[in-house]
Structure 1
Amino acid sequence: MAQIYGREKLVGQITAEEWRTGRRAGLRPWLLTTKSREVAERASGLYQGEVACAASGGDLHARKLYAEGIAVIVASVANVRHRLALESERGLVHACDGSRSLPPMPDEGQPCGCPDDPFERKAAARAGAGPRPDARVIFRLAAAPGLGELSFQSSAWQFYESLESVSHKVKRTGGPVQMELVLREQRLATRSGLDVSFAYPDVHSVRRLPVTQAGLHLAA
Structure 2
Amino acid sequence: MALRIFDTDPDAKPKPRKAKVEYERPVFQFRSGMQVRNEKTRKMDPVSLANWRVLTDDPAIAEGIAELMGGTPDEYDPTKAMHLHVLTESPSVEIVINGSKAIEDKLILWGPGGPVHECDGEFFLSPAEDAGQPCGCPSTLAERKDLAKRRRGPSPSINVTFRLAGLGYELGTGKLIATAWSLAEVIHEVKDALDAVEGEALCRLTLEHVQYTNKAGIDVSFRKPVIEVLGSYSDAIAEER
- Provide the rounded CA distance (Å) in 1 between the counterparts of 2:133 and 2:219: 43
Partner of 1:73: 96
Q: 1:47 to 1:123 in 2, by over 3 A?
A: same
Map residues 1-40 of structure 1 onto 2, 5 A cutoff.
9-19=25-35, 25-40=47-62
Contact 2:200/2:232 (<8 A) preserved: yes
Higher mean alpha-carbon deviation, 82-91 vs 149-158, is at: 82-91
Contact 1:25/1:198 (<8 A) preserved: no
- Counterpart code for 1:93: V
- Give 1:176 deviation, angstroms: 3.0
- What are the ranges of 5 or more consecutive residues in structure 2 without an aligned counterpart? 1-22, 37-42
The count of corresponding residues between Structure 1 and Structure 2 is: 206
Task: Say whether residues 1:186 and 2:210 are aligned partners.
Answer: yes
Query: Residue 102 of structure 1: SS of its match in structure 2?
Result: strand
Partner of 2:16: none
Partner of 1:49: 71
- Give 1:105 deviation, angstroms: 4.5
Map residues 167-178 of structure 1 onto 2, 5 A cutoff.
167-170=191-194, 176-178=200-202
CA shift digits 1:133-152 (9 cap, x unpaired)? 10111111012211101111
- Provide the rounded CA distance (Å) in 2 between the counterparts of 1:174 and 1:86: 35
Contact 1:94/1:105 (<8 A) preserved: no
Q: RMSD value over aligned CA atoms?
A: 3.1
Q: Between the two proteins, what is the percent identity of the paired residues? A: 27
Contact 2:54/2:88 (<8 A) preserved: yes
- What are the ranges of 5 or more consecutive residues in structure 1 without an aligned counterpart? 1-6
1:147 to 171, 181, 186: 171
- Counterpart code for 1:28: A
Query: Residue 9 of structure 1: SS of its match in structure 2?
Result: coil
- Provide the rounded CA distance (Å) in 1 between the counterparts of 2:123 and 2:197: 23
Contact 1:35/1:60 (<8 A) preserved: yes
CA shift digits 1:43-102 (9 cap, x unpaired)? 2122122345x6211883321112231111122555311111112234223222222333
Contact 1:79/1:139 (<8 A) preserved: yes
Could you state the TM-score of these two structures normalised by the residue count of structure 1? 0.77
